[in-house]
Amino acid sequence: MELLIITEINLTQDLTKVLEVQNLNFSIEDNKIVDDVSLSLKKHQILALLGQSGSGKSTILKLIAGLLEPNSGSLLIDSESITPPSGKLIPGHPKIKIVRQDNPLFPNISLRENIEYELRFFNDEYKAERVEKLLKVTGLKKAEHQLPRHSSEGEQQRAAIARALADEPSLLLLDEPFSNLDYKNKSTLKEEVKQLVAEENMACIFVTHDISDVFGTADQLAILKKGKITQIDEPLKVYNYPSTTYEASISGEFNVFKRDIASHLFGITTPKKRLLIRPEAIKISFSGKHKANITAVTGRGVYKELTLEIETETLKCFTMETYDIGDDVLFDILRYADID
Ligand SMILES: Nc1ncnc2c1ncn2[C@@H]1O[C@H](COP(=O)(O)OP(=O)(O)OP(=O)(O)O)[C@@H](O)[C@H]1O
């Protein structure tokens, strides 16, 4: 009978769930820094945390890593409760690794030796095999004997990630892993992180200020405001259908119109107070339904931002085509979001 009950419990457990955060709260004196945060992550999933500076992104990572003790809430890793750091000699859970910008590599040993150091308690055979694999997947084989100070920012960042992965964690936490990298290094590292998360059978949370880091990398995007998650969903859903102008402004540019104006100008009836339109959702074409006049053209690198005037309203859109101030254009609205 007892055996039967245990089997039933195991069957209801989601074995792919790596992390479960429930109602996490953290304050410093009266200042609420993390406010009732809940989230969960399965194996192979990547979650991005995006929010204004000071919205609590790094603090959430530190709480999950066990570097800070929450005031309340619970954390489960691989369905096991994590003990908060108080009284522990080494804080944190061995299956959770965090890479922060302020925990640099050991300066006087090579990138390879930095990774090997994490594996010092393992036997030589496993150590050699693991280091080789990590050097390969992080693209560091050529740079393995370099000292950190003789290595590029990208190589140092990759070595810090490889070092964190040495001991096969279930969850990798990355605090702003892509900042300070040039475009090429950034896209390489983003691809490597995705590959590592899949190959190493783990989950990952990364913090960023830049929405472009999120697309193509993260499966889920959480927007933070004053310590609270205000929206969490697939990145494109958050981008195309932000809940409020806060989520919209954190993730890009937008146009917003009051309900009656939207109905009058575009014939769109929103059930909410306002209509939000991303500049990319406006398509200029000869068969467009709406007519506007171009009042400004601003260069934005490879594309241009056009300001369109319709009656007394203006609306911004992006284009790769050449237009001049004063041109009349026809356009369609491909997508919009209803917001309060
Ligand atoms: N040790 C501390 N003492 C007092 N306030 C703190 C401490 N650590 C963090 N804070 C405050 O908590 C808030 C959240 O900080 P946190 O570093 O988590 O934000 P963040 O979203 O990661 O910001 P950024 O994007 O600028 O790195 C900030 O207002 C910060 O000033």
List, for residues 185-241, the tens digit of each pLDDT value: 888 889 989 998 998 889 999 999 999 999 999 999 999 999 999 999 999 999 999
pLDDT reading at 6 higher than 90 = no
% of the chain at pLDDT higher than 70: 92
What's the CA gap between 76 and 161, in Å, rounded? Answer: 23
pLDDT tens-place string over residues 254-270: 999 999 999 999 999 99
What's the CA gap between 182 and 188, in Å, rounded? Answer: 10
Ligand 1 atom nearest the C-alpha of 176 is 27
Backbone angles phi, psi at 197, to 5 degrees: -60, -40
pLDDT tens-place string over residues 30-72: 899 999 999 999 999 999 999 999 999 999 999 999 889 999 9
pLDDT reading at 182 higher than 90 = no
Centroid of ligand 1 to alpha carbon of 120 (angstroms): 34
Fold of 253-339: OB fold (Dihydrolipoamide Acetyltransferase, E2P) (2.40.50)
What's the CA gap between 45 and 14, in Å, rounded? Answer: 14
Q: Would you state the pLDDT for residue 1?
A: 46
Place of tokens 């990759």: 158
Q: Which amino acid is at 310?
A: I
For 198, residues 6+ apart whose C-beta sits below 8 A from its C-beta are 44
Domain limits of the chain?
A: 17-248, 253-339
Which residue's CA is minimally distant from atom 10 of ligand 1?
Answer: 33
Residue 25, beta-bridge partner list:
72
Q: Which of 57, 101, 102 to mutate to test the pocket of ligand 1 (most atoms within 8 A of CB)?
A: 57
Which residue's CA is minimally distant from atom 30 of ligand 1?
Answer: 54
Burial bucket for residue 336 (CB in 10 Å: 0-12, 13-18, 19+): buried
CB of 255 sitting under 6 A from ligand 1: no
Which residue's CA is minimally distant from atom 3 of ligand 1?
Answer: 28
SS3 2: helix
* Pair of tokens at residue 250: 């954190």
Q: Which of 37, 52, 58 to mutate to test the pocket of ligand 1 (most atoms within 8 A of CB)?
A: 58
Q: For residues 49, 50, 54 and 60, what is the CA-based torsion angle, rounded to 10 degrees?
A: -10
pLDDT reading at 2 higher than 80 = no
CB of 53 sitting under 6 A from ligand 1: yes
What's the CA gap between 90 and 106, in Å, rounded? Answer: 19
* Pair of tokens at residue 127: 């150590």
Place of tokens 């594309």: 303
Q: Would you state the pLDDT for residue 7?
A: 47
What's the CA gap between 165 and 84, in Å, rounded? Answer: 22
Q: Would you state the pLDDT for residue 173?
A: 96
Fold of 17-248: Rossmann fold (3.40.50)
Which residue's CA is minimally distant from atom 6 of ligand 1?
Answer: 28
Residue 221, beta-bridge partner list:
48, 233
CB of 94 sitting under 6 A from ligand 1: no
pLDDT reading at 152 higher than 90 = no
SS3 199: helix
Q: Which of 33, 69, 178 to mutate to test the pocket of ligand 1 (most atoms within 8 A of CB)?
A: 33
Dihedral sign of CA atoms 71, 77, 83, 86 in order: negative
What's the CA gap between 323 and 327, in Å, rounded? Answer: 7
What's the CA gap between 64 and 316, in Å, rounded? Answer: 40
What's the CA gap between 275 and 339, in Å, rounded? Answer: 6
How confident is residue 91, by pLDDT bands cut at 50, 70 and 90?
low
The mean pLDDT value for 328-337 works out to 96
* Pair of tokens at residue 319: 């284009």
